[in-house]
Structure 1
Amino acid sequence: MSRNLYIYEEQVIAAAKQGAQIIVFPEDGIHGFNFTRETIYPYLEFVPCPQSVKWNPCREPHLFSDTEVLQRLSCMALRSKMFLVANIGAKQPCEYNDPLCPPDGRYQFNTDVVFDASGTLVARYRKQNLNGKKHLVP
């Protein structure tokens, strides 16, 4: 992951030199793919809800734990003065009395995060799979 983040940093610098205002990275670009629920867990981070808390991971790295990747992405956005969108693995503890809570007590998400040009986390999107359910398109 560190190597991939280094490549991201190079791409952000190159994009900034060209005057880009936003850079969007691909799904699974940081941690790769072909993981199981258990093997991906060490690479997951906590991503707070940006509508609930205003947070700049680069400037406030100790506000939340397990956020090293978010910190690096935030600093990239801040240094380049551009919006940055990246995909990471995220985790969220859940209560055992939650009927949807998995047996291991945590939700795991394939999550896109968006940082503004000051490095502040402004959006979080948790990808949802339809799990084989058919949905009608109007």
Structure 2
Amino acid sequence: MGRKKTDEYNEAYDLFCNTELTRKKIAGIVKVSEVQIGKWAKDNDWELDKTANQVTKEKLVRGFYQEMANIKKFANTEKRNLTPAETDQIIKLTNSIDTLGKKYNLSNYHSVLKECLEWMNKNDNETAKRFGPVMLEFLKYKATSLKND
């Protein structure tokens, strides 16, 4: 007996969002057509989920600190003080870090809902199947509302 379509979908979704595998490779692993993977990805906006998985608060903060370090390193290499523009950039980066600490971003919501859905899937698969699409709609809503804040 073959796997259920939902199993194929869920595995494809996980591979798409959490790996760098191509659609063709995912199709081979899951044993569905590459066209089907593309349809699922397009119809369910998997690119948004993949981005949410990759853009975490920690990665953003780390990137901001790296950018500040690069600005300072450049000035030190030239044996000079920071320019007003560089100082302004560091202030903006610092403010961005502070803002991230005070407000949830889409990645925070995605992480919590993903963890909740994984737990639910292990404990009550039928409930997880019902809540998964609702959680995705919530993430889309939050994506829109966070853009407007």
TM-score interval, normalised by the smaller of the two chains: under 0.3
Q: TM-score, normalised by structure 1?
A: 0.23
Task: Give 1 or 2: higher strand fraction.
Answer: 1
Q: TM-score, normalised by structure 2?
A: 0.22
Q: Which has the higher contact order (CA 8 A, sep 6+)?
A: 1
Task: Give 1 or 2: higher helix fraction.
Answer: 2
